[in-house]
Amino acid sequence: MHDKNYHIITYGCQMNQADSETIAGILSNRGFKTTDSIYQADLILLITCAVREHAEQRIYGKLGELMQLKNINPALVIGIGGCMPQQLEVANKLRQKFPRLDLIFGTHNLPEFETMLDRVFADREQVFEIHDIAGRITEDLPKSRIDRHKAYVNITFGCNNFCTYCIVPHVRGRERSRNPNDIINEVINLVQSGYQEVTLLGQNVNSYGLDLNRDFSFADLLKELAMLKGLSRIRFMTPHPKDISDRLIDLINKHDNICNHIHLPLQSGSSAVLRRMNRKYSKEGYLQLAQKIRDGIANCTITTDIIVGFPGESEADFADTIEVVNTVKFDAAFTFAYSKRKGTPAAGYSDQVPQMIKKQRLHRLIELVQQYMLASNQACLGQTFEVMVDGPSKKDPSILSGRTKTNKLVHFAGQYQAGDLVDLKIYRTTSFVLWGETI
């Protein structure tokens, strides 16, 4: 199987990004080359997201478009993986809707990806593989990473939290932690290959290690990694507010290479809604934690995820969310209208919020959140930040973009390589981006 080209389209979160890098690694080991053009591809794969209905609808549309390419190139192989087909009902719908789809596989099937690939190319028959239970963690799968200076490193897979709105535990399985040595060795190898930054990935990074019975926690792991020479920046996502320890806060503050940014999903500011979401913290608990972070970690930014219109959310509940936003003054926030996910408890709740109200609340929330984003960025004016260069900006390739330790996006001019650390003074800002110049 030589000189074949592949093109992967990834939707959704960093977990999917990490899975796509594994698939790319397997393909590259088999002699496949990556291509940016769908017209040059012999194999197109969609790695999909199921977290909201909107994401799924977009993917159906995209798949419909891509299937047309088979009319020009009948040998083209098209496959779909990730969270969408992991829901068996959706996988069956995909099979029905797109009979010429070549490969349908779930999130638990990566270890057999190579065998599936052989089958699809040899037999030219539809391959359909959805395991309903996650197997053990497979450590020896290769990775072909997109970036040369920063890398995602999985520390746990799956989730045990079962927030009542969320499909993730249903499509990613129960929480499984990687062995500390496997993680540490992977990071050492990355540093030796020139990587400067790692982002540790887990649906709830704080519960790392609980399933290993080894008395080795997320804070222990972070501490070990922070001592590695040559690793400039460590990030992690996502911590769950219910179990961020004082020790963790202390550790982040103490180590210069652990970035002073915490993504702390709020989801709702109403204790009643949080209870029904099964989040296991209250409005007051969240506010206390946010204050502890602000007090305990120098210049730490706090970003968040918020859902509006969860079933039963009253105007008073929404006002609680607004109050938490006004109190914490998030540096940035991702905001979502609640989306019913089949198979999750909240989808069956009878008190669904009408679409119009969800839209209005989302609109109000976005306006407020953007004010605080702007204020947070304006506070950076005139200050100097260390920025790690990511490369040419996606929007305007004639300028460069990079990130501060606090995870703010900065645009600037100059001759730098991805991974360079540059001190930039901020002279202009919007809600979403800072502009910096060398001093």
Contact positions vs ligand SF4 (CB under 6 A)? 159, 161-163, 166, 168-169, 203-204, 240
Minimum Å gap between C-beta 239 and ligand SF4 is 10
- Residue 211 binds which entry of ligand SF4, ligand 5AD, none, with Cβ cut-offs from 5 to 8 Å by kind? none
- Residue 243 binds which entry of ligand 5AD, ligand SF4, none, with Cβ cut-offs from 5 to 8 Å by kind? none
Q: Give, as one character, the DSSP assignment of residue 265.
A: -
- Residue 159 binds which entry of ligand 5AD, ligand SF4, none, with Cβ cut-offs from 5 to 8 Å by kind? ligand SF4
Cα Rg of the chain, angstroms: 22
At 79, the amino acid letter reads G
User: Quick one: 117 or 353, whose CB is closer to ligand 5AD?
Assistant: 353
Conformation bin of residue 87: beta by default, left when phi > 0, alpha when psi is -120 to 50: beta
User: 9 pairs with which residues across the strands?
Assistant: 46
Minimum Å gap between C-beta 149 and ligand SF4 is 28
Query: How many residues interact with ligand 5AD (rule CB under 6 A)?
Result: 12
User: 52 pairs with which residues across the strands?
Assistant: none
Contacts of 356 (CB under 8 A, 6+ apart): none
Minimum Å gap between C-beta 13 and ligand 5AD is 6
Between the alpha carbon of residue 124 and those of residues 94, 100, 131, the distances in Å are 18, 10, 22
In this structure, what is the dihedral angle of CA atoms 345, 348, 351, 354, given to the nearest 10 degrees? 110
Distance between first and last Cα of the chain: 52
DSSP string, 216-240: --HHHHHHHHHTSTT--EEEEE---
In this structure, what is the dihedral angle of CA atoms 144, 201, 368, 357, given to the nearest 10 degrees? 90
User: 305 pairs with which residues across the strands?
Assistant: 334
User: Quick one: 22 or 207, whose CB is closer to ligand SF4?
Assistant: 207
Q: Give, as one character, the DSSP assignment of residue 92.
A: H
Q: Is 127 in the site for ligand 5AD (CB under 6 A)?
A: no
**Rule CB under 6 A: which of 150-179 touch ligand 5AD?**
165-166
- Residue 203 binds which entry of ligand 5AD, ligand SF4, none, with Cβ cut-offs from 5 to 8 Å by kind? ligand SF4
Residue nearest to ligand 5AD (CB): 305
Q: Give, as one character, the DSSP assignment of residue 133.
A: S
- Residue 51 binds which entry of ligand 5AD, ligand SF4, none, with Cβ cut-offs from 5 to 8 Å by kind? ligand 5AD
- Residue 244 binds which entry of ligand SF4, ligand 5AD, none, with Cβ cut-offs from 5 to 8 Å by kind? none
Q: Which of 192, 286, 193, 303 is nearest to 238 (CA)?
A: 303
H/E element, 200: strand 197-201
Minimum Å gap between C-beta 177 and ligand 5AD is 20
Residues 272-311, one symbol each (x = binds ligand 5AD by CB under 6 A, - = not), give: ---------------------------------x-x----
Minimum Å gap between C-beta 83 and ligand SF4 is 11
The span from the CA of 98 to the CA of 96, in Å, is 6
Encoding tokens for residue 265? 């999903």
Which of 41, 51, 201, 258 touches ligand 5AD (CB under 6 A)?
A: 51
Between helix 53-72 and helix 88-97 the angle, nearest 10°, is 30
User: Quick one: 259 or 277, whose CB is closer to ligand 5AD?
Assistant: 277
Minimum Å gap between C-beta 278 and ligand 5AD is 12
Q: Is 341 in the site for ligand 5AD (CB under 6 A)?
A: yes
Q: How far is CA 302 from the centre of its chain?
A: 16
Which is it for strands 156-157 and 150-154: parallel, antiparallel or unpaired?
A: unpaired
- Residue 333 binds which entry of ligand SF4, ligand 5AD, none, with Cβ cut-offs from 5 to 8 Å by kind? none
Minimum Å gap between C-beta 420 and ligand 5AD is 31
Task: Look at the chain and count its residues.
Answer: 439
Q: Is 372 in the site for ligand 5AD (CB under 6 A)?
A: no
The span from the CA of 334 to the CA of 366, in Å, is 9
- Residue 28 binds which entry of ligand 5AD, ligand SF4, none, with Cβ cut-offs from 5 to 8 Å by kind? none
User: Quick one: 83 or 400, whose CB is closer to ligand SF4?
Assistant: 83
At 107, the amino acid letter reads T
Q: Is 339 in the site for ligand 5AD (CB under 6 A)?
A: yes
By the criterion CB under 6 A, which residues form the site for ligand 5AD? Answer: 51-52, 165-166, 265, 267, 305, 307, 336, 338-339, 341
